[in-house]
Amino acid sequence: MAGEILDNRGRGEAAWHWPRIHPESYKFAAVAGVASLLCAFFAWETFAWPLAVLVPAILAFFRDPQRVTPQGDNLIVSPADGLITLIRQVEPPRELVLDDGTGAPGLAPGLVTRISIFMSVFDVHINRAPVGGTVRRVVYVPGKFLNADLDKASEENERQHILIERGDGRAIGFTQIAGLVARRIVPFVKPGDMLAAGQRVGLIRFGSRVDVYLPAGTESKVLIGQKVIAGETVLAEIGQQLLIEGIAQ
């Protein structure tokens, strides 16, 4: 199915498959597995069984399912699986605005809409590009490990900013944020890389958050409390400003 074109008129085929497991999981699963065997060898069953259960749990956390990314010149798709917890009008991060000396333009200063996606430990943690284009910035910022659900986590937690410049010159920025449990942001991309919308860009280990900064004049097409899927859910369409309301039920 990878690379296959599907549409809303029946073209293409789909079937359920076991998701692939990202190699980042192997070392953690191996440690838990060896520890379980050692505990079993010494008859420490109280520890052996929980460690044994931890092995498939770790593999499940690092699952990397295939996604079908909607194609459209102005679409911004979700970079993360998770819950929409915050939608705010904010100034974009200075790391995405200030001149970085490369000559590539950053985001323009001024208020924009920020969509925050909270990833629990049960969500897929592979992050994907919200738009296609060229990676212009990957900026790591050390920081705290506050609860990623807090608004101030955007400015105080360990984080990594990524800026993608589309073919029309418009730049889209997003930020991977470490959380209370997350302790490592693992990038898959570097400045100069060419990406397609929905392509994998990195992962955050063990619970975290991703912020997306929409261009000026663009508002969210998702609502507070909605679940979104990385590489599939359309967060916004550039240039569209519509009030959309929902009902929790």
Q: What are the helix (H) ranges across the chain? A: 26-41, 45-61, 94-97, 153-156
Terminal Cα distance for the chain, rounded: 34
What letter does residue 25 receive in the DSSP assignment?
A: G
Beta strands across the sheet bearing 126-128: 126-128, 200-204, 185-187
- Active site (annotated) includes residue 208: yes
Residue 67 CA neighbour count, 13 Å, CB half: 28
Residue 131 CA neighbour count, 13 Å, CB half: 30
Instruction: Report how far apart, in Å, the C-alpha atoms of 53 and of each of 24, 93, 155, 222 are.
Output: 18, 40, 36, 36
Residue tagged active-site, from 25, 78, 154, 208 = 208
Query: Which residues are part of the catalytic machinery?
Result: 208
